[in-house]
Amino acid sequence: MKKVRIALLGLGNVGRGVWKILQFNQDEIRKRSGYDIEVAKVLVRDMNKARGVDIPEELLTTDFNDIIEDSSIKIVVEMMGGIEPAKEYMLEAMKKKKHIVTANKMVLATEGDQLFETADKEGVMFYYEASVAGGIPIISGINESLTANKIEQLYGIVNGTTNYILTKMALDGMEFEEALEEAKEKGYAEADPTSDIEGFDAAYKLAILSSLAFGTKVEFDQVYREGITNITSEDITYAKEFGYVIKLLAIVKEINNKLQLRVHPTFVPATHPLANVYNSFNAIFIKGNAVGDLMLYGRGAGDLPTGSAVVGDIISILRNNVDLESYLPSVKNNLWHKEFIDMKDVECKYYIRATVEDKPGVLGELTTMFGKNNVSLRSVIQRGKEQGEEGVSLVLVTHFTKEENLLNAIDLINIAPYVVKVDNIIRIENF
């Protein structure tokens, strides 16, 4: 059997998963790839750290030169995370004609162009299935299976931490802080959860998926982003009452050749398949003009699911002939030029929860303010006053309206004397 030598950069969660899969699925991998894969080197930061996997010590190195200068290493697998030195290492490896597999969403979302261009120029293969949604084959789905489609919309639950928190809030009645604590205890949230709960992680993934699905360059900072820290159990209860569940969605839609990109908490109809995606699971829904509705559901994180995607990419490289002098890449990322839609021009339905003084005429005055800004209301719920509360809760649901109009109305409402507070505004998607 042919042999191939590879190097792993990083031996964290994903790196250990890859190592384990290469061991316990050795027979499957050999037969399916036609190769015996030998891990020649593993780059680590600290030689003395406990590893949790049974890896021979002589494979470990802290010096990237041990890898880059070894011409017998054909594939470099980057699982370090972060932008530098990951990007620099990948570029150097490409220049040495090594094929690359990466699980790094951040570097792809921010520096992807340079990596794609260098891979093209050097004629090396560059695979990154693991960078978005762990074990779910969404990258190959878009890049290889849906090529006959014009993709119209893509929206999904791409962050397991926030989905876990929202599940606990919806099913177990927890408040946000309590659910976050539990997520930390169970290892679903990091000590500093900012990247997850503020939607950065989802926005990185959306930038990558949008670039591929729409064949255009999408920068991370073109994605509108809102996290889930403002969601309360009250919002979740109202959502249920209206027949919805609240999910943190990453959404991209093409409208008149322009893209709108946004990550925010969203009212999703309770009958939609995404509504039934619980706990830390991820799912991505795609509408193509030929395939119609398609959803991919699975584990978006974890050592083995993410490792499954990484090792799948390694096998793809081996099957595509790892020894070719120059590989002709099949996927181009700049096929079309697309404009982006400003958030103020996005049209949505909105859920608005506000606390107002319990006086006659308040509802009429608020309704007038919406009307003046061309926002028409679909339903209003006013809850009776409970003891000790300052004001009463008013929940409004609008018909489709431009975000600009809504925000203008909200500006007026915010300064109205009988309005205690606009508690929350959440977009509603009916897809």
Q: Which residues bind a copy of itself (CB under 8 A)?
A: 17, 21, 24-25, 28-29, 31-33, 129, 135-137, 140-141, 144-150, 215, 273, 276-277, 281, 288-299, 302, 304-305, 307-312, 314-316, 319, 330-332, 335-336
Cβ proximity to a copy of itself: between 172 and 221 the closer is 172
Cβ proximity to a copy of itself: between 21 and 413 the closer is 21
Which residue stretches of 232-351 are H helix? 233-241, 303-319
Q: How many CB atoms lie under 10 A from the CB of residue 92? A: 17
Cβ proximity to a copy of itself: between 111 and 129 the closer is 129
Query: How do the residues of the chain divide into helix, strand and coil, expressed in percent and rounded to 5?
Result: 40, 25, 35
Cβ proximity to a copy of itself: between 32 and 121 the closer is 32
- Could you tell me which residues come within 8 angstroms of residue 86 by beta carbon, excluding any fewer than 6 positions away? 9, 78, 80, 102, 104, 107
- Given the residues 74, 87, 98, 205, select the one marked as catalytic: 205
Task: Say how far apart CA 121 and CA 329 lie, in whole Å.
Answer: 10
Binding residues for L-homoserine: 190
Eight-state DSSP code of residue 141: I
Cβ proximity to a copy of itself: between 47 and 148 the closer is 148
Long-range contacts of 166-169 (CB under 8 A, 24+ apart): 166/228, 166/231, 166/236, 166/245, 166/246, 166/247, 166/248, 166/265, 167/278, 167/279, 169/231, 169/233, 169/236
Cβ proximity to a copy of itself: between 266 and 306 the closer is 306
Task: Say how far apart CA 198 and CA 185 lie, in whole Å.
Answer: 19
Roughly what angle, to the nearest 10 degrees, separates helices 233-241 and 160-172?
A: 70
Roughly what angle, to the nearest 10 degrees, separates helices 26-33 and 13-24?
A: 80
What is the nearest approach in angstroms of a copy of itself to the Cβ of residue 390? 39
SS3 assignment for 259-275 = EEEEEEEEEEECCCHHH
Q: Is 24 exposed, middle or buried (0-12, 13-18, 19+ CB in 10 A)?
A: exposed
Inter-CA distances, 71 with 5, 43, 62, 74, 157, Å: 10, 16, 18, 7, 41
Task: Say how far apart CA 25 and CA 5 lie, in whole Å.
Answer: 17
Q: Are 374 and 404 in contact (CB under 8 A)?
A: no
Catalytic residue list contains 205: yes
- Could you tell me which residues come within 8 angstroms of residue 169 by beta carbon, excluding any fewer than 6 positions away? 175, 176, 179, 231, 233, 236
Active site (catalytic) residues:
205
